[in-house]
């Protein structure tokens, strides 16, 4: 039986925080009630993290360890592969290298185990053409955060230097969050009222090539993995004080021209944490995304 965690809207309601802050809390906690129960009412991310990394027994630290121990008590190879993905490696060859030069057969078996247990998700580019550019990511937001920062920092935390771990999180947070929030935003978009997105948007993914030129955050289509029709092309700009602007729009238009199946009439979408100053795009922010979860709960 799969018991889902709390969703971003439930996280916002439980903690009494705003939409943008709720997505931050969701990325760190994964919606796990045990972690959220330790989160002070109305506290921002950094207030909570400063407290959590100061205690080796905090739910934030213990939950990741328990998950790994329960899922992979003896499969050391699967844990090695999961750690490689958690450190940011996403392609088959890069995961193999990060995992110590694992041979293709062993890596394939480990990935099959991880995906069968829904610990790792598999993404492929969405367009009207087939592609083999598969990417892997840790499916659970909290475990992704734990593998990126807390697992590598456990020894420092146990020595009473959680402040050093917190500083590393602060330094990497904008880039880490920008990548980690993408699947959450895609799921949020699919929960929006049908009148918001172009008609026929039944799936939302991304698009990339081997060289990441282009790399497109959001692609809407009628089906996956090979679409018959693309319904939108979009960009995510999830920064504190930088809205989606004309330069971002120009870049998105160029990327649209490089996307198989898209043309100049394909609608454009901007998802931004800090608003949108460009015109000619569908613009959505944290408020609309959080409301989408409330519509389906």
pLDDT digits (tens, 9 = 90+) for 256-271: 999 999 999 999 999 9
Handedness of CA 42, 156, 102, 65 (dihedral sign): negative
Domain edge (last residue) among 124, 158, 186: 186
Whether residue 3 is contained in a domain is answered as: no
pLDDT at 114: 93
Q: pLDDT tens for the chain, 297 residues: list them.
A: 566 899 999 999 999 999 999 999 999 999 999 999 999 999 999 999 999 999 999 999 999 888 888 777 657 788 899 999 998 889 999 999 999 999 999 999 999 999 998 999 999 999 999 999 999 999 999 999 999 999 999 999 999 999 999 999 999 999 999 999 999 999 999 999 988 999 999 999 999 999 999 999 999 999 999 999 999 999 999 999 999 999 999 999 999 999 999 999 999 999 999 999 999 999 999 999 999 999 765
- 265 and 123 in a single domain? The answer is no
Is residue 234 classed exposed, middle or buried when 0-12, 13-18 and 19+ CB atoms within 10 A define those classes? buried
Residue 210 lies in a domain: yes
Q: Which of 93, 163, 92, 81 is nearest to 122 (CA)?
A: 92
Among 159, 186, 213, give the residue marking a domain's end: 186
Cβ–Cβ under 8 Å, residues 63 and 75: no
- Regarding whether 79 and 62 lie in a shared domain, the answer is no
Query: Based on the domain organization, do 58 and 178 belong to the same domain?
Result: yes
Q: Domain for residue 2, yes or no?
A: no
Confidence (pLDDT) at 288: 97
Residue 214 lies in a domain: yes
The CATH number of whichever domain residue 240 belongs to comes to 3.40.1350
Q: In this structure, is residue 254 part of a structural domain? A: yes
pLDDT at 296: 61
Q: Are residues 91 and 127 in the same domain?
A: yes
91 plus 20 within the same structural domain: no
Is 180 contained in some domain? Answer: yes
Shared-domain flag, residues 117 and 137: yes
Residues 134, 84 within the same domain = yes
Q: Are residues 247 and 178 in the same domain?
A: no
40 and 89 within one domain: no
- Count the Cβ atoms, other than its own, within 10 Å of residue 129: 11
Residue 167: its pLDDT value, please?
98
| Number of domains within the chain | 3
Q: Which domain holds residue 86?
A: 73-141
Position 182 in a domain: yes
1: in domain? no
- Please report how many Cα atoms fall inside a 13 Å half-sphere around the Cα of residue 143, on the Cβ side: 22
Report d(CA 237, CA 88) in Å as an integer.
19
44 and 154 part of one domain: yes
User: What pLDDT is recorded for position 69?
Assistant: 80
One domain for residues 50 and 101: no
Question: What CATH number should be reported for the domain holding residue 92?
Answer: 1.10.10.10
Paired strand residues for 123: 135
Q: Are 260 and 176 found together in one domain?
A: no
């Amino acid at each position: 039986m799969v018991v889902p965690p709390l969703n971003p809207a439930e996280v916002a309601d439980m903690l009494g925080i705003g939409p943008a802050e709720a997505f931050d809390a969701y990325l760190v906690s994964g919606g796990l009630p045990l972690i959220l129960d330790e989160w002070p009412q109305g506290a921002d991310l950094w207030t909570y993290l400063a407290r959590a990394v100061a205690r080796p027994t905090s739910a934030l630290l213990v939950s990741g360890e328990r998950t790994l121990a329960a899922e992979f008590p003896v499969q050391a190879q699967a844990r090695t592969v999961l750690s490689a993905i958690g450190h940011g490696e996403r392609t088959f060859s890069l995961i193999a290298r990060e995992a110590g030069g694992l041979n293709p057969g062993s890596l394939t078996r480990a990935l099959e185990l991880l995906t069968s247990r829904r610990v790792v998700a598999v993404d492929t580019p969405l367009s009207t053409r087939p592609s083999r550019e598969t990417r892997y990511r840790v499916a659970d937001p909290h475990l992704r955060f734990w593998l990126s920062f807390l697992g590598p920092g456990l020894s420092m935390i146990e020595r009473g230097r959680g402040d050093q771990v917190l500083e590393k999180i602060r330094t990497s947070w904008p880039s880490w969050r920008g990548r980690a929030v993408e699947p959450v935003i895609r799921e949020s978009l699919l929960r929006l009222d049908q009148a918001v997105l172009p008609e026929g948007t039944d799936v939302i993914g991304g698009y990339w090539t081997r060289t990441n030129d282009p790399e497109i955050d959001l692609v809407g289509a009628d089906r996956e993995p090979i679409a018959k029709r693309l319904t939108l092309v979009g960009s995510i700009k999830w920064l504190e004080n930088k809205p989606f602007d004309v330069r971002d729009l120009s870049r998105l238009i160029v990327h649209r021209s490089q996307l198989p199946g898209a043309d100049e009439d394909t609608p454009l979408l901007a998802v931004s944490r800090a608003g949108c100053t460009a015109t000619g795009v569908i613009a959505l922010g944290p408020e609309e995304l959080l409301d989408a979860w409330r519509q389906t709960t």
